[in-house]
Structure 1
Amino acid sequence: MFSQLVHIGFDLAVVAALLAGIRRTTGLTVRLNDNPSQGNVSLVRKYLDFGERTLDFIVGFMTMFPKYFVRQSG
């Protein structure tokens, strides 16, 4: 049971980071209606913000290993 929760949590983090990467490279993002009657909007916004932070962490981690990862110009 615990391992399944960890697996699902990891999958959710990967999907959030993927959505953040898509937003950064293409400008496409999830459309959110800012209707106050919908409580799920703030939850989705927090999830997408978590994806941004996750992507920033992954990129920062990768820059610690210049032997394996380089930035391409152009």
Structure 2
Amino acid sequence: MTLIGKTVHFSIDFLLISTCLAGIKRNTGLTVKTDKIANQTAKEYMTKYLNIGESLYDYSVATCGSSSYFVRK
């Protein structure tokens, strides 16, 4: 696999993990402790990373909610 292929693969994996963490946050209230990160820059990037997951989760829920293949119970 080429370097570009691996980069795309890992990027998608990281997005899926972020989306999964957003789902856990929405359904259980559990979230990642970002205050334990000592480096301010790393803390900001972690917050942005988690916010991307929240956005992807919202988009996925909205798309599934408007689809005829899903029903709310």
TM class, shorter-chain normalised?
0.7 to 0.9
What's the TM-score, normalizing by structure 2? 0.84
Q: Which runs of 5+ in 1 are unaligned?
A: none
Task: Check 1:71–1:49 CA distance in 2 against 1; reply closer, same or farther (3 A cut).
Answer: same
More helix by proportion, 1 or 2? 2
Identity %: 35
The one-character-per-residue Cα deviations of 1:6-32 (angstroms, maximum 9, x if unpaired) are 111111111000000000000000012
Structure 1 residue 69 corresponds to structure 2 residue 70: yes
Root-mean-square deviation over aligned CA pairs:
1.8
Q: Which runs of 5+ in 2 are unaligned?
A: none
What's the TM-score, normalizing by structure 1? 0.83
Q: 1:49 — aligned with what? A: 51
Write out the 4+ residue segments of structure 1 that deviate beyond 4 Å after TM superposition: 34-37
